[in-house]
Amino acid sequence: MEWRKNSTFQNPNYIQSPFSSPTNNRNQYYNANYSPISVIRNQPLLPPSFQDQAQINNDSQQNNEDFENQRFSYYMSSFPLYCCDWTTINEYDTECIALSSYKEGLNNKLHILHGLKYGKEATFEEDEDMINGSFENDNIEGFDFHKVSEIDIDYPVTNLQWDPMMSKYGLNERLATSSEVLRLYKVDHDSYDNNGDYQLVQTHYLTNNNSKAQKEMMTNPPVTSFDWNKVDNSIIITSSVDTTCTVWDLNRSISIDNQGHKVDSAAVKTQLIAHDSEVFDVKFLNDSTNLFASVGNDGSMRIFDLRSLEHSTIIYEPSNDVKIKSSNSSSYNSKALIKLDTSNIDQHYLATIGVNSDQIIIIDTRMPGVPVSILDGSFDGLTNTAINSIKWHPSSNFLLSGGDDCQSLVWDCNNLFQNKNDSSMIINSPVMAYQDNLEINNVCWRGGQGDWMGVVSGKGFQAVSI
């Protein structure tokens, strides 16, 4: 992939923003007059042959440093990255990106980036996201990303999310992260750390250690994921390895003791046993404060209604007998579902992926039991690599995925239907693809816009124009 750099480019309309880096240690602007994304017509991007791959790896090792320095709309960390989220504060025309590292041991990082746009007009004029079936983005050529805050954390983050209402709060940048507990942070623009960056201040500490034994041992059942409600941002739901889902009410703050220190928490609105084993992911359904879905180690997808928790609906589960694979003292179900996402425009569509799976399962809640569609990331058996992350587009039924084949793919799910014989519709050709040098760990859309996507690969975060 060729990247072109124009170090002389200057943004004529650049205005100092209250979100600018406090140290003004900004990177150079890069010319991004084309997008490193491919339109798939007849054949998907495939991994090169082993001989070609060996040559690519050799060349990559020799030129990796130069290559990373020449990327535009790119941020390079000193740690391997995993989680990401991207939102925009329209009032100050500023991009906010949250990134977390993934390292074994008690040595991880949480990074906050700000992005300044540059391009033809250096402003974004809101248009239709899709015109004649193709994405439109004529104004922004790229982003200048710079770190404005970071904090040391112990355990790797399993999920992170900006406050979905953050654009209404101006300077109040707030995000949540999950690991052994759920934590809420805010970026304090009035205080600085030793590096001159904004302070990232923890505001809430939400833990599931309700049992007496857990409290005595000071242990917490790890939080596998969570979802921040987009309709009412006082509601957060978490999933845990202890088989439960917990709904928290942030409007009812309480004080708890954490190893001798008083910290703010939130009141538990309700807690329920959601699955027969570990719950791996949970999401609210679109435009609802009561309906949510979960997936877990038992291989099922379930929907719950907070107004009637006596019953749940299993809308998908494996039809054949499952086999348990063991690794040391831990075990997992070979049919386990590990990631879940719900459509942002249609409450009926949900997407999920299984452990080490190269397929994305699309479920229509009106036709439970059988997937309405399967997005075949193996391209009809041509590859065999796991999909790691899925995200629905903010304003259309396009689905973004990233996997171990080093590709981030865009799938068209706008016209799904189930075949007459009740079999699933197979889609094995994405409409767009971006290829990186390393495995894709996570993906996200530019919040509220969807004209750019964010890709986490190795130690870097790459913004890609659609």
Is there a domain that residue 427 lies in? Answer: no
Q: How does DSSP assign 377-443, residue by residue?
A: TTTTTT----EEEEEE-SSSSEEEEEETTSEEEEEE-TT----TTSPPEEE---SEEEE-SS-EEEE
pLDDT at 55: 47
Is there a domain that residue 91 lies in? Answer: yes
pLDDT at 39: 42
Residue type, 382: L
Going residue by residue through the chain (466 aa), what tens digit of pLDDT does each one get?
A: 333 232 222 332 333 333 333 333 333 323 333 344 444 333 344 443 333 434 444 454 455 555 566 789 999 999 999 999 999 987 777 899 999 999 988 899 999 999 998 875 444 444 444 333 333 445 678 999 999 999 999 999 999 999 999 866 665 899 999 999 999 999 998 899 888 899 999 999 999 765 444 444 446 899 999 999 999 999 999 999 999 999 999 999 877 766 556 778 899 999 999 999 999 999 999 999 999 999 999 999 999 999 998 889 999 998 764 443 433 334 568 899 999 999 999 999 999 999 999 999 999 999 999 999 999 998 877 888 999 999 999 999 999 999 999 999 999 999 886 655 567 889 999 999 999 999 999 999 998 889 999 999 999 999 999 8
pLDDT at 171: 58
Q: 257: which residues sit within 8 A by CB, 6+ positions away?
A: 263
Burial group, residue 271, by CB count within 10 angstroms (0-12, 13-18, 19+):
middle
Q: For 27, which DSSP code?
A: P
Neighbours of 99 (CB within 10 A): 29
Structural domain boundaries enclosing 92: 1-32+72-209
Is there a domain that residue 88 lies in? Answer: yes
Is there a domain that residue 38 lies in? Answer: no
Neighbours of 13 (CB within 10 A): 10
Contact 445, 391 (CB under 8 A): yes
The pair of structure tokens assigned to 300 is: 């099922």
Is there a domain that residue 11 lies in? Answer: yes
Is there a domain that residue 115 lies in? Answer: yes
Is there a domain that residue 256 lies in? Answer: no
Q: Total domain count for the chain?
A: 1
Q: Is the CA virtual torsion 143, 147, 151, 152 positive or negative?
A: positive
pLDDT at 89: 87
Is there a domain that residue 250 lies in? Answer: no
Q: What is the pTM of this model?
A: 0.81
Q: For 234, which DSSP code?
A: T
- Beta strands 407-412; 425-427: pairing state: unpaired
